[in-house]
Structure 1
């Protein structure tokens, strides 16, 4: 059996509860970490989860999913299916961007999706050239959508819109404070643009040529998105004890404190177990009523007032 800390166990319990039947009588009774695998530089944690009904689940991370042991008798069978599912989702991701990508490169990605579709039916050299045209259009869309963005810093005269290489360099300067990522995005932008133009005019274009340009364009859009997201987000919080980035927000169950209902909020480090001071988050009457309505609509008889509400997590006396 592999080692597992309390926070890790809690997260798996919460995940299984949220995915099976929230509020049902069937509860998680045991979580066992049964291994860790590494495939193609990706790490997967494997868990055996027991329910009070006797049902058991395999839970596999990265991306986390669960599989009934009635359907997958062995862990190896579930893990193989999990890898296959991830591969399928990865292929879909080529033309279906994640939410943050759609926000920052939506129009560019739609044109890139057109390049993918063109590649599916491509047979002749001119078809592969058309893939290059679509990729080039994708980069131009990226420029048009961002040249007037508030985060863009232009020193001197603005380049023409069609000068994608110059604009991608400006984006790199505007989005990165570190010289290494800045140089990488600049180089990636210049080389990807040159590849799209080359493929567009290459009369002997082949499938391999088109795949190279597709891959380069996708990587540019992905890198740009990562830098855009990072530019907007605050610096990740680090543990004051061990300096780890694995600090997560946690909360207690619903409790009563000084006559008020709410939860205790705190930060916890998954690496060393450090825990911050707790802060009481008082719930509004409306929020409590929504919880009552949910509870009563699931397994309890209807209750009409706040006085009828019983909080199982607050059996202890209120904290001073």
Structure 2
């Protein structure tokens, strides 16, 4: 498989948009050869469909990734692309959808309904062949995001604002982030999750209606969905886990032991006493469950 030309990359991006955009510029951002063959990452700008990374090479199928989601550099999109290729070329005997979901989420605790649906789309991607199969996976990806919105959202998050519609995932996600990630210390984290939220939803919608999607775009969409679910679970769990945010006030170490605890009248932990393994400092922290 030969590396593509400027014309190949331009035609590919415009075909994927179903003629709705024109490529304004496309240039090779970086070329990698650490795996024994060349892989090129192209930086592509369009007139009305945003900016894209296109990855292709000697032995690598061409694929595109939205720059507005999670992929901020050529190195990051290359790493993500290689991970997808390795999973795709594994045999059916070694590929287990549940193991794949657990690997992407670092074996994090995921709500049972979401976990079941993530396993389902991870299994479907290995049997999808026709355009209708890919579109159906896109529909399920959107449904998973709507389910995620229902899982993370609570009516009180809206405050004085109008309650979002049941299927308005992006608005529920916005209110969740505002509620759980306030403060300047979370500004960069908020920005990353917001970009990935919007990019993943838009990409799932694109797959749902695409007449030209291939296995590679749909596989990317599935991976984005799993990663996004994991990000929101991380935020939710972090908010109710003050231990993960603890740092010894004396030596700044994060290595410690729980030496004692206190409980409220309902038996819920209200205070923890932590002893630093490095300097021996004992600190009391309040356990606040959001």
TM range (shorter): 0.5 to 0.7
Q: Following TM superposition, by how much is the alpha carbon of 1:146 offset from its aligned partner in structure 2, in angstroms?
A: 3.3
The within-5 A match list for 1:185-200 is 185-200=193-208
Does the 8 A contact of 1:107 with 1:142 survive in 2?
no
Find the counterpart in structure 1 of residue 263 from structure 2: none
Q: Following TM superposition, by how much is the alpha carbon of 1:153 offset from its aligned partner in structure 2, in angstroms?
A: 4.2
Distance in 1 separating the partners of 2:275 and 2:279: 8
Residue 173 of structure 2 is aligned to residue 168 of structure 1:
yes
Does the 8 A contact of 2:207 with 2:213 survive in 1?
yes
Does the 8 A contact of 2:97 with 2:123 survive in 1?
no
Distance in 2 separating the partners of 1:89 and 1:239: 41
Structure 2 vs 1, CA of residues 247 and 93 (structure 1 numbering), >3 Å: closer, same or farther?
farther
Distance in 1 separating the partners of 2:207 and 2:276: 51
Find the counterpart in structure 2 of residue 115 from structure 1: 121
* Unpaired segments ≥5 residues, structure 2: 1-93, 261-272, 284-290
Find the counterpart in structure 2 of residue 179 from structure 1: 187
Residue 252 of structure 2 is aligned to residue 243 of structure 1:
yes
Matched residue SS, 1:94: helix
Distance in 1 separating the partners of 2:234 and 2:152: 15
Residue range with higher mean Cα deviation, 216-225 or 181-190: 181-190
Distance in 2 separating the partners of 1:220 and 1:111: 14
Matched residue SS, 1:198: helix
Q: Following TM superposition, by how much is the alpha carbon of 1:94 offset from its aligned partner in structure 2, in angstroms?
A: 0.7
Let me know the Cα RMSD of the aligned residues.
3.1
Distance in 2 separating the partners of 1:88 and 1:122: 15
Q: Following TM superposition, by how much is the alpha carbon of 1:222 offset from its aligned partner in structure 2, in angstroms?
A: 1.0
Structure 2 vs 1, CA of residues 155 and 107 (structure 1 numbering), >3 Å: closer, same or farther?
farther
Structure 2 vs 1, CA of residues 134 and 277 (structure 1 numbering), >3 Å: closer, same or farther?
closer
Find the counterpart in structure 1 of residue 31 from structure 2: none
Residue 158 of structure 2 is aligned to residue 156 of structure 1:
no
TM-score (norm 1): 0.48
Distance in 1 separating the partners of 2:162 and 2:155: 16
Q: Following TM superposition, by how much is the alpha carbon of 1:145 offset from its aligned partner in structure 2, in angstroms?
A: 2.6
Distance in 1 separating the partners of 2:97 and 2:128: 22
Structure 2 vs 1, CA of residues 202 and 266 (structure 1 numbering), >3 Å: closer, same or farther?
closer
Q: Following TM superposition, by how much is the alpha carbon of 1:267 offset from its aligned partner in structure 2, in angstroms?
A: 1.8
Indicate which of 124, 128, 148 corresponds to 2:130. 124
Find the counterpart in structure 2 of residue 209 from structure 1: 217
Structure 2 vs 1, CA of residues 170 and 274 (structure 1 numbering), >3 Å: closer, same or farther?
same
Task: Tell which has more relative contact order, 1 or 2 (C-alpha 8 A, sep 6+).
Answer: 2
Q: Following TM superposition, by how much is the alpha carbon of 1:107 offset from its aligned partner in structure 2, in angstroms?
A: 1.8
Distance in 2 separating the partners of 1:205 and 1:238: 47
TM-score (norm 2): 0.52
Distance in 1 separating the partners of 2:236 and 2:214: 33
Find the counterpart in structure 2 of residue 14 from structure 1: none
Q: Following TM superposition, by how much is the alpha carbon of 1:188 offset from its aligned partner in structure 2, in angstroms?
A: 1.4
Number of corresponding residues: 173
* Unpaired segments ≥5 residues, structure 1: 1-86, 252-264, 279-320
Residue 240 of structure 2 is aligned to residue 232 of structure 1:
yes
Matched residue SS, 1:120: coil
